[in-house]
Structure 1
Amino acid sequence: MALIFIGKEFQYKDFLQTYILKEYKTDKIYFYENLEFDIEKIIKENSQLLIVSNEKLYSTISKIVATLNDDSLEVKEAQLIPSKSILYEKNSFLIELNNTVINVLKYIDYLPAILLKDSEYYKLHIFNYDKDTAELFVKPIFESFNMSYTIYENEGGWCEIVISNLNEMLLKQLRGFIPHIIISNNIFEYLKERLESNNKKITFAESCTGGLIASFLTKISGSSNVFDGSVVSYANEIKSKWLGVDERVLEKFGAVSEETVQQMLLGILEISESDYAIAVSGIAGPSGGTITKPVGTVFIGVGDKFGKFVVERLQLSGSREEVQYKTMMNAIRIFLNFSNLI
């Protein structure tokens, strides 16, 4: 976790630093006079981040965080903040960005609430409705319980609803309209638990994601019960030699194709003897795109040991890292729908 002060005046406010450190313990403290620093790098290096900004730069930081999260700004509590904010109060909002929880505060003459220390929240995942349709069902229910919520479509293409507390009666009513609601703050933890409870195993054949899916799953304690290993088949030669992808398929259709991903699936299922598999291949960029397969073109396949499989083509946007992350999240969406583990 880290603490960032943005604004020249904060270097001289010792009382403010002392006050914040009583509430938020960290030895990683940064001071910047303006926004000429790599905020994205700091976000990636920390699981929690508290940013204290002066009034002048607060809205700019809000816009930067929203952009990094493929998000837009909305007016909440008389301020423009990212629409995906999990919690918010006047001059303070909390948001999750690629597994980093960020609290941005605006300091004028008092310090607003530090939401990180009280950041308990719950995520409800909805896979079978788009955001607008889901909100038609859930909005009246939340209003009847006088509960606030945040709803958005995440990087994997499914809806998430973030709430600050669980209410069993509310959940019962929600499930009356939307039967399959997942409650989990970490979708990989849910994936592990569902596979484990069904005594199933999964493996991956990753190309453009470079092992990202395996990395996220193995962050979960006990993942060894459902995951033995995977293959990062970046080069065509490895796709062919390790996974058995036919060289003629690679030559005719290319590494980024439905045909190649299908054979990657069959190959990884054969060598791993797993119950399920996910295979991905794509062009993460910033170079490598063509007219027919521009940057962001991704093929995702999921299959099982009985020979059933599906392959989807997606056109994703964003930086190289964003395309890789979106590929991983879409792979989880496609797999959960395919396997009926929702």
Structure 2
Amino acid sequence: MKNLIIILGEDLQINRPFLDYFFTSYKEKFGALASVYYIQNNDKELPFYIENFTKEYDNITICANENGFNTLSKILATLTTDTIELKFETLMPSQVIKFSKNSFLISLNNSQINLIKAEPIKELPEILTQDDQQSKIFHIIDIDKESAQILLEPLTASYNVNITLTTIIDGLTKVKVSTSRYGHIDSFIDSVANLFIGKIIPADDIIKFTAKKLIQNDKKITFAESCTAGMCAAALGNIPGVSVAFSGSLVTYSNEIKNSWIGVDKDILDSFGAVSTQCVEAMASGALGLGVADYAIAISGIAGPDGGSTQKPVGTVFIAVASANNVASLRLLLSGDRNYIRTQSVLHAFTLLLRQYPELCK
């Protein structure tokens, strides 16, 4: 199935928080984003764009401001030789397939079009588009994309599925498995789990997966973050119901705070520096020592764009995870801008936790 997203209206296009909200809602519905096309309300070619898109895409989801919604409702009625009427306090073509307040689904040229009227400070209307293609996503730890592709390819024919792989970070490969009909996705994933014993995370989001497992196992986690400045904590805090597994978090940016809050020894900071194995292991142990959690994650690094050196260039990040029984750490050399380095650091941290404590994956 080929899917398309259209954002109609410049006010929506420049509203990044709202777009993030819409794209997140779309991903929850379909499992992934589609191609995105931006159109202005006053674009006179709009009817021709829609007509052409319906010949190329199976599902089109259009997020429009109020003016764009009203204009496009009339255009869709014209293209389908239909009339406009009021349904659920919303003007829409009379022969819609499905509708709810400020959202309707209509068919044109064998394409389904879902037109949604969006108001940025209000709840997004229901996304009505249906995708007949079935798909699931899982992750593989410690298998690179190329090797995973070679090993998985023979299974795809046996179960009549298609796969798409991408490298999220070194040591974490995301796999999307899909089928239109007659395929056996669950059986395929079961076979993959048997092939990669202990290396499968059966989820689209490893942080949500971690939260779920912490809750199921009645365990708690805490963080001591430096360069990520609370991004691990924020990512976990985004998940509903996580409060039973999330004790709290510390942002220990300065050396003084590392020392006074979680007891990182001054000798460690003076001898090895804040960006070091010794420091993150002490940070993780110190956070765990507060006695509020079963696991702790610590991160310290140089996210850039400045602050690097020959010994520790920009992108150098140290991560540690700790439990009552042990502490484990790793050193990374990441690439990208400041935000991408920090985002990768968060994913590496949760992946290290799952790798080090496989009981959380069961």
Normalising by structure 1, report the TM-score: 0.70
| Closer/same/farther in 2, CA of residues 258 and 317 from structure 1, 3 Å limit | same
- Write out aligned runs for 1:206-225 (5 A): 206-225=225-244
What amino acid maps onto 1:177 in structure 2?
Answer: L
Verify the 8 A CA contact 2:285 2:327 in the aligned structure 1.
no
Give the superposition deviation at 1:42: 6.7
CA distance in structure 2 between the aligned counterparts of 1:31 and 1:109, rounded to whole angstroms: 25
Other-structure match for 1:263:
282
Specify which of 29, 34, 52 is matched with residue 109 of structure 1. Answer: 52
CA distance in structure 1 between the aligned counterparts of 2:305 and 2:328, rounded to whole angstroms: 27
Verify the 8 A CA contact 2:177 2:185 in the aligned structure 1.
no
Corresponding residue SS for 2:138: strand
CA distance in structure 2 between the aligned counterparts of 1:133 and 1:338, rounded to whole angstroms: 22
The C-alpha deviation readout for 1:164-218, integer Å capped at 9, x for no partner, is 3662322232223123322212222211121122221111100111100111111
Other-structure match for 2:333:
315
- Identity over aligned pairs, percent: 33
Specify which of 171, 196, 206 is matched with residue 178 of structure 1. Answer: 196
Give the superposition deviation at 1:134: 1.4
RMSD of aligned alpha carbons: 3.1
Specify which of 253, 267, 270 is matched with residue 272 of structure 2. Answer: 253
- Write out aligned runs for 1:4-19 (5 A): 4=7
- Write out aligned runs for 1:296-335 (5 A): 296-306=315-325, 308-335=326-353
Specify which of 136, 145, 162 is matched with residue 148 of structure 1. Answer: 162
Verify the 8 A CA contact 2:136 2:185 in the aligned structure 1.
no
Specify which of 248, 269, 273 is matched with residue 229 of structure 1. Answer: 248
CA distance in structure 1 between the aligned counterparts of 2:137 and 2:220, rounded to whole angstroms: 25
CA distance in structure 2 between the aligned counterparts of 1:155 and 1:115, rounded to whole angstroms: 31
Q: Please say if 1:160 is aligned against 2:174.
A: yes
CA distance in structure 2 between the aligned counterparts of 1:287 and 1:44, rounded to whole angstroms: 30
CA distance in structure 2 between the aligned counterparts of 1:113 and 1:193, rounded to whole angstroms: 34
Specify which of 136, 152, 160 is matched with residue 138 of structure 1. Answer: 152
CA distance in structure 2 between the aligned counterparts of 1:229 and 1:197, rounded to whole angstroms: 18
Corresponding residue SS for 2:348: helix
The C-alpha deviation readout for 1:15-48, integer Å capped at 9, x for no partner, is xxxxxxxxxxxxxx3289xxxx989x57974441
Verify the 8 A CA contact 1:156 1:326 in the aligned structure 2.
no
| Closer/same/farther in 2, CA of residues 118 and 321 from structure 1, 3 Å limit | farther
Verify the 8 A CA contact 2:6 2:37 in the aligned structure 1.
no
Normalising by structure 2, report the TM-score: 0.66
| Closer/same/farther in 2, CA of residues 178 and 193 from structure 1, 3 Å limit | same
Verify the 8 A CA contact 1:277 1:304 in the aligned structure 2.
yes
Verify the 8 A CA contact 1:156 1:329 in the aligned structure 2.
no
CA distance in structure 1 between the aligned counterparts of 2:144 and 2:246, rounded to whole angstroms: 31
| Closer/same/farther in 2, CA of residues 49 and 257 from structure 1, 3 Å limit | closer
Verify the 8 A CA contact 1:265 1:277 in the aligned structure 2.
yes
Moved more, 135-144 or 280-289: 135-144
Give the superposition deviation at 1:145: 2.5
The C-alpha deviation readout for 1:205-247, integer Å capped at 9, x for no partner, is 0011110011111111111111110100011111111011111
| Closer/same/farther in 2, CA of residues 151 and 254 from structure 1, 3 Å limit | same
CA distance in structure 1 between the aligned counterparts of 2:311 and 2:240, rounded to whole angstroms: 41
Verify the 8 A CA contact 1:301 1:310 in the aligned structure 2.
yes
What amino acid maps onto 2:187 in structure 1?
Answer: M
Q: Looking at CA atoms only, which structure, 1 or 2, has the larger radius of gyration?
A: 2
Q: Which runs of 5+ in 2 are unaligned?
A: 39-48, 62-128
Verify the 8 A CA contact 2:232 2:346 in the aligned structure 1.
yes
What amino acid maps onto 1:124 in structure 2?
Answer: F
Specify which of 239, 250, 256 is matched with residue 258 of structure 2. Answer: 239
Residue-pair matches, total: 269
Q: Which runs of 5+ in 1 are unaligned?
A: 6-28, 51-84, 86-93
CA distance in structure 1 between the aligned counterparts of 2:201 and 2:60, rounded to whole angstroms: 25
Specify which of 267, 287, 295 is matched with residue 306 of structure 2. Answer: 287
| Closer/same/farther in 2, CA of residues 4 and 168 from structure 1, 3 Å limit | closer
What amino acid maps onto 2:146 in structure 1?
Answer: D
- Write out aligned runs for 1:59-74 (5 A): none
| Closer/same/farther in 2, CA of residues 44 and 104 from structure 1, 3 Å limit | closer
CA distance in structure 2 between the aligned counterparts of 1:102 and 1:49, rounded to whole angstroms: 12
Verify the 8 A CA contact 2:144 2:170 in the aligned structure 1.
no
Give the superposition deviation at 1:301: 0.3
Verify the 8 A CA contact 2:319 2:331 in the aligned structure 1.
yes
